[in-house]
Structure 1
Amino acid sequence: MYHYASAPPEYSGAPPDYGVATGSSPAPLTAVGLQAVDFLPRMTAEDGPSNRPEYEQFGVLVERANRFLRDNPHFSVNTCESVEFRVYNRGYEIDTVESVFTAYGEANNRYIRGLRLWTQYRHSSMPASEPEQIGYLNFLPDIQNSELVERLDHVVQRINRTPIKGTIITVETQPVKWGSKALDPDRTIWTERGSASERFVNLIRIFYIRGPVEQSQVGLADFVPQKLEDGGTFSNPRMETFSTVMQRVRQWLLSVPPNYRPVNVQTVMFRWSYNKGVDTKDMMYHENKKHLNYLRFLRVAYVIEKPDSGPVSRSTIQLGSKLIVPEMAQQPGFFDKGTFESQESCRRRVDQWVKAAGARVVSAETLVMRIAGGGESVYGFDAMHTWNDTHQTRSGNSSSTKRDDERFVYLYRIYTDGIVPETGGMVRESRLENYTTQTDSGEGCAIA
């Protein structure tokens, strides 16, 4: 007999290692694929001598997405993401094509935040129904001053006191830059510069399919990579990689009652000093140095469905994952940036893999990782610890530290209910060492 929890458990650190769980059965396979549909903000104010460019608010994108869903009722939304894109030419050009971009260490780098729906065709056996409509809610921490910021567990308590008019499908964590203006979670453009001192506040954003209020509660479980070796004066510490952390996530999900419904898994970046502990409840971080370390951890968002909302028939989740990376047509050289598959083409292969594998998708996430830099240069795309590189410049008798220009690539990680086996001829492996020094050691091969 299952015990139905009435409140989320503590999640100050990773849940305990429950060992190898047994007794679960794989979920039924599907063949509906997984398609990404993007909605980008439009410019509302141009760049000028006394102002920066502005774009539509995030809520406008949600309503635009709902118009799309009304016009395409055969689509069902699996998960939603707030996705970032590089912006060039004084804000006029949003790069949604190239899979690789450059962040200039000492120059202004502009980004916009759009909305990505990961959708699936409604299965032919599903009865006809009204088009789905999504809603969202923002939860920022209460801030009294830069040193007194509400903690994550208190934010979750506020979430669970707020009626949500529908079925939750995503609970994501997004950093919001806190500049000279008021902190606005729906602002879709911001600027970063390597030499600047900047503050970021973590936003909890909930997406849901509109409908009746459900009697349920939200929980977050954080799985932090453990330190395997201390770093030294000239070396970084060695941390657990994605595949090891993922094993703990899987074991925990196999142990929870069936009224715990995972809605998404997210890789969260955390500004980190490796001589200090990791506090994932901290909702603010500063970028105030040239050389910065970051730790990635996995955050599982789940909903605890109340017993009085009806019987729960879900089987235990066996969580698997698949990393899909862009193909490299030409490797970068000293005077050549290389040639890579486009973002859209790579996402089409996400759809093809999900269909061919018959995968049952729990959630999907868009990742941005370094090429041949930081922790990726050591552990490949399995890295959970990374850092930015710097260089020294001299002028006369003085020297200064500058951030390096760095290149980043868009990747896609699909989380599945069931570890999908590879089948011959279904996909071909990507040589990730073309990007970094090692191949990904995650759940199965990467897809190209």
Structure 2
Amino acid sequence: MTFTILRNRIQQRFLDRQLKIDDIIVFDEDLPPKKDCRLTFVDFAPIVKVRLRTDNNGIESAEFNTVPSELVDFANKWLLDREVWDVVCCESIGAIIQIKLTDNGVVEDKRVLTTYTITEDSHDFHDGVTQYAFSRSKEPVDFRVKMIRLWIQPFDSREYNEKVRPIVPQIQFRDFEPRILDSRNNTFESIDEVVARLNGAINAEEITGKVLNVQTLACSATQDWKIDPQSTQSKPWVGKTVFVLRVYYALGPIHEEEVGLADFVPECLVGGGMFKRPKFESQSCLLRKASKWLSENPEINFCSAMSLDVKLKSMVSIDTKQMSVTRETGDFIRILRIAYTKPREVSADIPISSTLPPPPPVYLEHRV
């Protein structure tokens, strides 16, 4: 049997088996009992469905079926079917999920991998899926995907009963890509300019509801800096990367608010040298600074916190506003980014007594 025939059989077996799996897999088996739950999460992961084809040059290409909007629609239906969960936050996460199938293509085991080693040039993955393993009935299949994670908490049972049902939240999202200012130098807008456009969309009532999260989403770029934020295939963060602001919000009444981002950069404690790396503050120190800042600004509504790697071009001035980066060379420093909302500027002729009191301060902690 020639190599070509064997490869074609493997690919055909791969195509036949993948069609039997649902387009979206939900990881909700380990949700805690509602009476004991204060906060938990559920993941919605796309299954990479690949259609192999041959063009005029004999080169195989692939298509991916599921897009982020379909994940959101699926999550909304999941919430409606249960009527017990309120949404606290929502985020997109790059992950490797592992699925084990029966001979008939039924999912008998699934999990999100917490430890793995993968590089951009790995032969294990073909367009985001371990194709060879997919063709074998007893081997688990790994998918490298961008999934949606909903952070949820149960509705207060004291406020609702069989006659009084809660309003089940429905979520949506919108992406704000940085515009190219100079195509010759690949210069993009700064993050402040993108946030300004985001707030313009809120003011124009294009985003209707409560903002849950403003996520800085890293998107792999081509050699000419083109990106596809709608792709649900996750790639290792190497090469050219462009950051997109993805806004998740719960549909509802218009909120008179605007969005902001606050970056907390670790200070250099010990300078480096030719054979010595510099030493910076820990993430715990940054969390304490962020907590202090939030407590001193009670008018701010905390949305989310995330760690973000920023390219270290200078020890004197660290630019956290850049929206594009190349990962192949150079050093990086990890910052803490807080996403928040705050009331729009109150007009001078509106008495302070007519505005709502600020929410209580937020104190941040972390646990590994």
Instruction: Give me the TM-score of the superposition, normalised by structure 1.
Output: 0.58
Aligned counterparts of 2:287 and 2:234: Cα–Cα separation in 1: 32
Task: Verify: 1:103 aligned to 2:108, yes or no.
Answer: no
SS at match of 1:100: coil
Aligned counterparts of 2:98 and 2:154: Cα–Cα separation in 1: 35
Aligned counterparts of 1:246 and 1:103: Cα–Cα separation in 2: 30
| Residues 317-328 of structure 1 aligned to structure 2 (within 5 Å) | 317-324=361-368
Task: Verify: 1:301 aligned to 2:306, yes or no.
Answer: no
**What amino acid is the match of 1:58?**
P
Query: Quick check: which one's strand share is greater?
Result: 1
**What amino acid is the match of 1:217?**
E
Aligned counterparts of 2:159 and 2:336: Cα–Cα separation in 1: 33
Aligned counterparts of 1:95 and 1:147: Cα–Cα separation in 2: 41
Task: Verify: 1:188 aligned to 2:221, yes or no.
Answer: no
Give 1:193 shift. Answer: 8.5
Note the alpha carbon deviations across 1:122-142, whole angstroms, 9 max, x for none.
Answer: 112334322110011111100
SS at match of 2:301: strand
Instruction: Give me the TM-score of the superposition, normalised by structure 2.
Output: 0.70
- Bigger Rg, which one: 2
Note the alpha carbon deviations across 1:175-212, whole angstroms, 9 max, x for none.
Answer: 01112694221111144486xxx211111111111012
1:265 is matched with: 305
**What amino acid is the match of 2:284?**
S
Q: Quick one: higher RCO (CA 8 Å, sep 6+), 1 or 2?
A: 1
Match of 1:36 among 41, 44, 47: 41
Gaps of 5+ in 1: 1-29, 325-448
Give 1:47 shift. Answer: 5.4
Give 1:43 shift. Answer: 2.7
Match of 2:177 among 136, 140, 150: 140
Task: Verify: 1:64 aligned to 2:105, yes or no.
Answer: no
Indicate conservation of the 8 Å contact 1:223/1:297, yes or no.
yes
**What amino acid is the match of 1:215?**
E
Note the alpha carbon deviations across 1:290-340, whole angstroms, 9 max, x for none.
Answer: xx422111111111124589743444324131314xxxxxxxxxxxxxxxx
Aligned counterparts of 1:260 and 1:160: Cα–Cα separation in 2: 15
SS at match of 1:81: strand
Name the CA shift for 1:96/1:201 in 2 (closer, same or farther; >3 Å).
farther
Aligned counterparts of 2:317 and 2:110: Cα–Cα separation in 1: 37
Task: Verify: 1:152 aligned to 2:191, yes or no.
Answer: yes
1:117 is matched with: 150
1:280 is matched with: 320
Match of 2:90 among 62, 80, 94: 80
Which aligned segments of 4 or more residues in structure 1 are displaced greater than 6 angstroms?
92-95
**Number of equivalent positions:** 287
Identical counterparts, % of pairs: 25
**What amino acid is the match of 2:324?**
M
Cα root mean square deviation, aligned = 3.0
Gaps of 5+ in 2: 1-34, 54-58, 100-104, 129-143
Aligned counterparts of 1:166 and 1:95: Cα–Cα separation in 2: 34
Give 1:87 shift. Answer: 6.5
SS at match of 2:77: helix
Indicate conservation of the 8 Å contact 2:215/2:247, yes or no.
yes
Indicate conservation of the 8 Å contact 1:179/1:199, yes or no.
yes
Aligned counterparts of 1:260 and 1:97: Cα–Cα separation in 2: 34
Indicate conservation of the 8 Å contact 1:73/1:132, yes or no.
no
